[in-house]
Structures are given as structure tokens and as C-alpha cells.
Chains A and B, each alone.
Chain A
């Protein structure tokens, strides 16, 4: 059992996500920095999909009430076990009564706390992830509060052997406030003027303070639409289209006035023009971009997107190898 002494700013239970329910309007949720989360679970000997905590900006204070291994990955923040500093990206043994204290994120936006056995909240539609907007999953569909208790799942057999093993520094991504992300342009961008699409790719965008698990509002140039009559049922504004599904990672441009990048708790569909989708391999870095971060988009073709995806999986395979985990159970990797 894990007791929450102080919850931090916004701490939620997440796993790799809830898939297969987009058609009812249920987004995947799940850890935003998928790579860091998977590494956290590997470090404590868990299945990559075991539930852990996603910490946003300010970390929680926790008390463990049984022996376990823990690891913290993702953005940089201070980790103390019984007031003694401990390293990130490494497994630590904790015993009954130990206090774990996490500070504020100093680089990046989100950190992950993983513990042997995972957090055993109810499995809803195949996942333990929290979807706050829908009051669904995780712990009662909400963020953690002081006094909460979280049960742990059964302890995996091989965890003890992992104690003290760390991830090679070279494999750990360093969060940046200045990032280039790759995007596959398309979908409804035929409605947007070519100059505006060129401006989109030339511009440096700024992550606004409205940046959460649903999406990031980005500040930058405005968009002009090609003239023409609106299709029946679309709505009067030139940025309106007949409602369609929004991919996670897609960029929409309501009113042509701003760009919104949809993330794990996205609205699954709606009637705004979408102009492209950030590739999966780059969403981990997006997850670590805090307000004020600068973002540039680079258009890539589908083959380059797939190549980047393979490169990311290869990096994770190196982590497994370095930790002496030889099974290739990577299929869950969303």
C-alpha cells in the first residue's frame, strides 16, 4: 500500500492508456511521456503497462506501507527517500514506513513514479488510466488528494535483481524549452491558404499557459482560409468542417486564430479544421514542454515518421538490454 501525504499539484494514476473506445468518445489517456513511463516500469521489474503516477510540475509526498522497489523518471525534480537524496532513472529499495518526497520539476513538465507491482486501481475498459474530464478510471476518476491510499498489485518475480541498475545517461532524453517536432501535414489542410501553411512551418510557436493533458494551446501566426462556400452541415466559420475524428497529436486551428495540439485526454472529435499530426516518436518531448517553451514544426513524410518510430523502439530495446531484460515484450508500446 502507498499512502499519499501530500498530493502535489496534479498527480494522477496512469498506465499506457485505454484503447478501443475512441468511437464512444473515450480518449486513450495514459502517461503523456510514454518513453519515460515505460523505462520507469522496466527499472522496477514491472510490465510496461503497470500503473504508476504521473506528476505534473510539483511532486507529491508519499509513504510506503510495504517493501518495494521504486523508480522516478521523466522531467528533472528532486527525489528524497527519508530526507536523503536519491537518483532519478534508477531503482531504489524502500521498506515499510519510508517517506518519499518529490520536489518541483525544474526541467521538463512531468515525472513518473513507478513501484513494483504497479498501482492496483480498478481496471476500467482495459486500463487503469485516469481521465479527469470524464471522471473516469484511476482513483475515482480524479487527481490524488492527501490521505488517499493506493493498493499495489502482485510483485513481479524478477524485481530484486534490478536493484541498483541504472539507465545509461546517453539513453535518457533531456527535456528542452526549445524543441523541433516532426509533423505529417494533411487531413483538412486543403482548406487553408498555402501561405498560411508555409507560415505555420516557418514560425516559432510558444506553448501558452493553457497546456494540459487535453492539449496545448500554441501562440503564433494566424491562418487564412481559401475562399468558398461552406459545405452543408459544417457551420458558418471558415475554420468549421463537418465534424470528424481527431487523432491524438493532431493540430486544429479554431477560427484560424490559434493552433491547438491535442494530447492523451483529447476531445475525440469535433468540427474544426485539422492541418496535420505530430508523429508519435516526438510526443514524449511535447509532454515535457512547459508553458513558454518554443516549438518549431518540421514536415515529414510517412516513411520518415515510421523510421523515427522504429528508432524510438530501438532506444527502448537498448534500455531493456542494459537492464538485463531480454524478453521482447514491447508490443504494448503505444
Chain B
């Protein structure tokens, strides 16, 4: 698909499809377009939902005819053709890989898995050509992940590893979805990683447990007060392997309501990234250290 497709989602939604495939450059543009729609405060627009290769607009057709909205969106897309800066946060996510809880869960649903003789993490490691857990976890966490979309249930963030597609870590979903997944499970499906915001069904391969929540309906933690979820589309999440001691330590702070997320606000320049991804990410990392 080379041209943008606009399609009606009934009488009060529009789906704008940029591409059929996942591509970071496309997603950068989608984030920029959605930030601009919000910025322009287009009359009749109720909400926008940026997605991986498309975005959804919910609007009042009484205020704005869908075809007028399409014209308006085309105008906005033209204006952000050369999006040079996006609001993007660098967020530290401490993860206990190969944890006992997701392993226990995997055992309960062994009959739905491709290879129940090994843990989900070992399976992921093997099909992606890694020979040791340490090597895999190091590679898995050596670069930040781009939050390309937020949705499904509140707080679910699709995290895309910021490497070229040939270096992508990929995994099939479970053959049949599980009916249970622990809250905060870190899991991988297709080319995406996600953290389960609440306990519930799921089909991604579970490889670890985040020490920090991504959804906080009770507004227990100061950083999530009034916003309820951790993710913003356009965030960069840096996963950091931790041991059981640090995990327990952070959990205690979360339970006490004193945990503070490590979040650094940065301006992100998509074009500079696309010119030399590794170099630009290193530069942002350096800047973050001094922030």
C-alpha cells in the first residue's frame, strides 16, 4: 500500500491507514499527525487513537461531515510531512526475567504452547538464534523500545524494539490463547513486547515480570495520579534486567505508594534517528545521563 487510505468506521469514526506493514518511520509520522490534530483542536473531533501503521479519529458528524474531516486530515498530514520533533519520554522499566510467576502460568497452559518442554523465554531465545539466556537478555535490553501504540485495555503499550527489521526479535503467539496471565507479565508476540496491565487472557510469550505497574486505577503512585496509566504513545521504554532482591525492593516501594518512576523528557528527532539509529540513540542516552 503506497498511498494513504481513508475509510469510514461507521458514522462517527475514520480509520486512516498509512501502511499495511509495521515500520518505525511510518509510526513517527502517525504520532506527529495525531499530536498536530490535538494541537489544532479541530472542531468536532472527540479523540484520536494513534496505532502502529494507522490512526483512528472519533468525531461528531453533526459538527464536521466525515468528508470535510478527511480534507482537514490531508491538510494536517501535508503540514507534518517533515515532522522534525516529537515529544518523547525515556522511561526505565526494571524487569525480573525468567521469573517464577510467569513460568508457573506457562506450565498451567502448557497444552496451548508450541514447545512446553522449555520456558517461554528459552523458546524465544532458541527460535531467534541465541544460545544462552544471558546473551539473549543482554541483546533484548540493549536498545530502547518505541511505544508505537497504546490500547486494547487501559495501559497496554505496544513496544517496538528500535533496531532495523532484520535484527527484529520475533515470536509466534500461543497456539490457543491462555485464559490467564499474571498482572505485569512482560511478554512478546510478533515483533512487539507488551506488559499486561491487568490479570487476564493473553497469547504473547511470557518472559519476565515488570517490577512496576503500567496501570493504576486506584491512583496509588504519585506519577500516575490523574493519568492512571504509565504509557504515552511516542515514549521510549528502556527495559533493565534486575535480580530478585531489587525486584522485591521495588515491589515494596510500589506497595507503599512511594515508588517514583525514572522518566526523562526529551525531544525526539525522527529524521536524525532514521539517518543513524544506533548513534542517535546513544546520544540521547548520554544526554539523559546528564538530565
Say whether A270 faces chain B, with CB atoms less than 8 Å apart.
yes
Q: How far is the CA of A242 from the CA of B52 in the complex (A)?
A: 7
Say whether A244 faces chain B, with CB atoms less than 8 Å apart.
yes
For B54, list chain A residues within 8 Å (CB).
242, 244-245
Ordered by A's residue number, 10 sampled pairs between the chains whose C-beta atoms are within 8 Å are A19-B46, A22-B49, A25-B156, A232-B22, A234-B20, A236-B172, A244-B17, A245-B55, A270-B152, A309-B11
The stretch of A66-74, A201-209, A272-280 in contact with B is: A272-280
Q: How far is the CA of A141 from the CA of B219 in the complex (A)?
A: 13
Nearest to A233 among chain B residues (CB) is: B22
Nearest to B13 among chain A residues (CB) is: A247
**Which of B51, B66, B150, B233 sits near A302, CB closer than 8 Å?**
B66
B10 and A277 contacting across the interface, CB-CB below 8 Å: yes
Digit string of A257-282 for contact with B (CB within 8 Å is 1, else 0)? Answer: 00000000001111100100111110
Say whether B273 faces chain A, with CB atoms less than 8 Å apart.
no
Say whether B101 faces chain A, with CB atoms less than 8 Å apart.
no
Q: How far is the CA of A17 from the CA of B151 in the complex (A)?
A: 17
Say whether A241 faces chain B, with CB atoms less than 8 Å apart.
yes
B151 and A280 contacting across the interface, CB-CB below 8 Å: no
Q: Which of B48, B58, B227 has the most CB of A within 10 A?
A: B58
**Which of A25, A234, A306 sits near B152, CB closer than 8 Å?**
A25
For B269, list chain A residues within 8 Å (CB).
none
Tell me the chain B residues, 13-42 only, with Cβ under 8 Å from chain A.
Answer: 13, 15, 17, 19-23, 34
Say whether B241 faces chain A, with CB atoms less than 8 Å apart.
no
Residues of A bordering B, CB below 8 Å:
19-26, 125, 133-136, 141, 183-184, 186-187, 231-236, 240-250, 267-271, 274, 277-281, 302, 305-306, 308-309, 331
Say whether B191 faces chain A, with CB atoms less than 8 Å apart.
yes
> Separation in Å of the A289 CB from the closest CB of chain B?
17
B217 and A136 contacting across the interface, CB-CB below 8 Å: yes
**Which of A133, A183, A269 sits near B149, CB closer than 8 Å?**
A269
Digit string of B170-207 for contact with A (CB within 8 Å is 1, else 0)? Answer: 00110000000000000001111000011010000000
Q: Which 6 A-B pairs have the closest CB atoms?
A: A233-B22, A245-B56, A277-B10, A269-B151, A247-B9, A247-B13
A135 and B56 contacting across the interface, CB-CB below 8 Å: no
B58 and A26 contacting across the interface, CB-CB below 8 Å: no
For B61, list chain A residues within 8 Å (CB).
306, 309
